[in-house]
Structure 1
Amino acid sequence: MGKIALQIKAALENVEELKTIHPDYAFMLKLKCTGCGEVSDKWHDIVESQTFPGKTGRSENNYIAKCKMCGRENSLDIVKGSNASYRDYDQGKFKSIVVFECRGIEPTEFTPGESWIVKVKESSRVFDNIDLSEKEWVEYDEKIQQPVEISDMEFRFTNVK
């Protein structure tokens, strides 16, 4: 069992805070079975507010799947309290925004999709349900009379203790 953090890095213009709609955000991941090395070609959505019973029925997991190649049952959970915002002072460096507890699988790819929230710097404006599928987003804030932008998004996974 290991813990793996999803980290993001982005350029922000007039953005104070970027975050997901925790706990209902669907983290879209491609996963690899650590038993046989099979990597799924499909995207899997992992949502903290959704749980499924394990094969013993005693544990609840955010994601459970049987590997198509080796038949092993694998599971993944979002570590409670691990969701974090990406803030203006994090700009240009990688920061963990969520941690996954992995049993038999590990994430290999992430796509940001919809349901992000942006808080504008020096304004009370909040944009919600932002779509970052293209890994960039631009809007205009009338109050500060400036563009609000997210660009140059990068993602990586890192092992954590």
Structure 2
Amino acid sequence: MLALALTAELNGVTDLRPNDTAESPFYYTFRVQCTSCRETHPNFVSLSRFETHEMSGSRGDANFVWRCKNCKREHSTSIKAAPASYQQCDPPKTKNILELDCRGLEFTEFKAEGEWLATGSESNTKFSGIDLTESEWFDYDEKAGEEVSITNIKWEVRRA
């Protein structure tokens, strides 16, 4: 079992989470490595909790199925539950936001592509379309009358 963990400084916002619904699925993008031969896939791969793929040999479905080109083994990953939201805290604490049941593979790096959501910590203003690809985000909360930001973002894939 692996988890995607996040640490970030949230200023004026809380409840940071991916925009991940059946109508608008979030694609989690990772670098993947085979645990059998240690071969790393040359490209980043994406998976959604709303898409499933059949595993060969009638072994069921998974959110991501990959056959390693080097050792020819088939590996899979299933997302265990909806993503957890990251709450504002001082000092920032590392929190698991996604749990992944990985079989024969591990994710070594996360790329924060996709749309994120947050809520104003004082005003309850809803922020959408947050882009974390540059590892920081700045906006202005009209209701609170102040700048809001997400900075010092650190992603980690670790054992759950």
Fold-level similarity (TM above 0.5): yes
The offset of 1:57, in angstroms, is 3.4
Distance 1:36 1:50, change over 3 A: same
C-alpha separation between the residues in 2 aligned to 1:60 and 1:42?
23
Q: For residue 84 of structure 2, what is the aligned residue in structure 1?
A: 84
1:143 & 1:106 partners in 2: Cα distance? 43
Cα RMSD of the aligned pairs, angstroms, is 1.4
What amino acid is aligned across from residue 96 of structure 1 in structure 2? N
Q: Which has the higher strand share?
A: 1
In structure 2, distance between residues paired with 1:91 and 1:132: 20
- What is the match of residue 70 of structure 2? 69
Structure-2-length-normalised TM-score: 0.93
Aligned AA (1:6): L
Match of 2:14 in 1: 16
For 2:115 and 2:57, the matched residues in 1 are separated by 33
Structure 1 Cα separation of the partners of residues 105 and 59 of structure 2: 20
Q: C-alpha displacement at 1:129, in angstroms? A: 2.2
**AA in 2 matched with 1:98:** L
> Which ranges of structure 2 fall in alignment gaps of 5 or more residues?
none
- What is the identity percentage for the equivalent residue pairs of Structure 1 and Structure 2? 32
4+ residue runs over 4 A deviation: none
The within-5 A match list for 1:1-161 is 3-23=1-21, 24-81=25-82, 83-89=83-89, 92-160=92-160
Q: Give the SS at the match of 1:88.
A: coil
- Which consecutive residues of structure 1, in runs of 5 or more, have no partner in the other structure? none
Give the Cα separation in 1 of the matches to 2:45 and 2:91.
Answer: 28
8 Å Cα contact 1:19/1:118 also seen in 2: yes
2:10 touches 2:89 (CA, 8 Å); kept in 1?
Answer: no
Residue identity matched to 1:131:
D
Q: Secondary structure at the match of 1:86?
A: coil
What is the TM-score normalised by the length of structure 1?
0.92
Q: Number of paired residues?
A: 157
